[in-house]
Amino acid sequence: MANETIMIVDDDVNICKLLRLYLEKEKYETVIINDGLDAVNAFAEIKPDLILLDVMLPGLDGWQVCRKIRNTSNVPIVMLSAKGETFDKVLGLELGADDYVVKPFETKEVLARIKAVLRRSVSAVADQIKEVHYDNLSINLTNYELKVGGVHVDTPPKELELIFHLASNPNRVFTRDQLLDEVWGFDYYGDSRTVDVHVKRLREKLEGVSDKWDLKTVWSVGYKFETKD
C-alpha cells in the first residue's frame, strides 16, 4: 500500500475523477480540490506528499498557487496544463514545479512522472539525513556504519540502506515493490522476496535490541519501522 497522499488541484471534474481512479488503483490516497485559493488554504492541513496542479484555475491560477506553496514548502509539484509552449513550461519550472505535463495527457505517463518525482524527493531527503538514531541503534549512511548498543555491526550496503530507509520514515508502511524501487533504485520486475531475505538478515542483527522500536511485517502489505511510546 502506497501511503503517499496526492492533492489533485483541477477545476475539470472529469479529469479529477480519471486521475483519482488511476491513482487509487496504485494505492495512493487522493484529495481533490477545484479552486486555487482553496488549495492554498487547505495545503497545510492536508500535508500532501505531492500536488498535481492545473494552471487554469478559479480563485488563484496555478502559477500563484505554486508560488505561495513554495514560500513555505518543498513538496513535489507536477503542473498540468493545456499550455504547451516552452515559455509556460519554463515559467512553471522557474516557479518551483518539479515537472510539467501538457494536456491532453496519457494517464500512464502522469503516473510514471509522479513515481519519478516522488523517488527523487525521497532520495533528496535521504541525501540530507545521513544518520538516524534510536534507542541502542545508530545508522550512519555516510560511513555505512550500523551500531547496535554502541557496538559496530558488519552490515552489507543494501541491508544498511534498507534499514536506513525504513528508520528514516518511522511507522510508514512500504510495500516490497516500493522498497525495491526506492532502495535498490530501479523498477524491479523480478522476485520481491529479495526484500524478505534482507529483512530476515537485519532481524537477526537487531533481535531483542530495544523494546522502543521494531522492524515489523505488515501482513499481505510489506514492512515498517515501528516506534513505540
Tell me: pLDDT of 1 over 50: no
Of 7-11, 13-17, 42-46, 184-188, least confident by mean pLDDT is 184-188
* Mean pLDDT, residues 45-63 taken together: 92
Give 113-163 pLDDT, tens digit per residue: 898 888 877 766 656 668 899 999 999 988 889 999 999 998 888 889 899
Give 77-101 pLDDT, tens digit per residue: 998 888 767 767 777 777 788 888 8
DSSP string, 145-212: EEEETTEEE---HHHHHHHHHHHTSTT--EEHHHHHHHHS-S---S-THHHHHHHHHHHHHHTTS-SS
CATH architecture of the domain 130-227 equals Orthogonal Bundle (1.10)
* Cis, peptide link before residue 104, omega less than 30° from 0: yes
pLDDT for the residue 125? 62
Span(s) in the chain for CATH 3.40.50.2300: 5-125
Span(s) in the chain for CATH 1.10.10.10: 130-227
pTM for this entry? 0.56
Give 153-199 pLDDT, tens digit per residue: 988 888 898 999 999 999 999 998 888 888 876 544 455 678 898 99
The CATH H-level superfamily of 5-125 is: Response regulator (3.40.50.2300)
